[in-house]
């Protein structure tokens, strides 16, 4: 019986109770993590990018920015 396993993938937190926004196609999740925003591809769980905040907690996110990010990622 196998008792030890090699780590294949580690998932980082993608949501901490703050603002959320989904791209129009539902593929990209933007989630506030304190003062940062994390962009995650929900089809594979990979982090697409992170925007560092300016010291203030993020209170809302808009989907318009996600459409721009999607365009940049597909170019």
Residue-wise pLDDT for 28-45, tens only, equals 888 888 788 888 888 888
Question: Which residues, in sequence order, are CB contacts of 19 under 8 Å at separation 6+?
Answer: 31, 32, 58, 59, 60, 61
- At residue 21, φ and ψ (nearest 5 deg) are -150, 140
pLDDT at 70: 52
Rounded CA gap, 53 and 49, in Å? 13
Task: Please report the beta strands in the chain, taking only residues with DSSP state E, as ranges in sequence order.
Answer: 20-22, 28-33, 36-41, 47-51
Q: List beta partners, residue 59.
A: none
Q: How would residue 69 be classed by pLDDT, with cut points 50, 70 and 90?
A: low
């Amino acid at each position: 019986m196998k008792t030890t396993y090699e780590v294949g993938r580690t998932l980082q937190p993608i949501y901490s109770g703050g603002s959320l926004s989904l791209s129009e196609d539902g593929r990209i999740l933007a989630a506030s993590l304190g003062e940062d925003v994390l962009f995650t591809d929900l089809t594979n769980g990979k982090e697409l990018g992170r925007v560092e905040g300016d010291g203030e907690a993020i209170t809302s996110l808009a989907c318009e920015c996600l459409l721009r990010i999607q365009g940049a990622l597909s170019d």
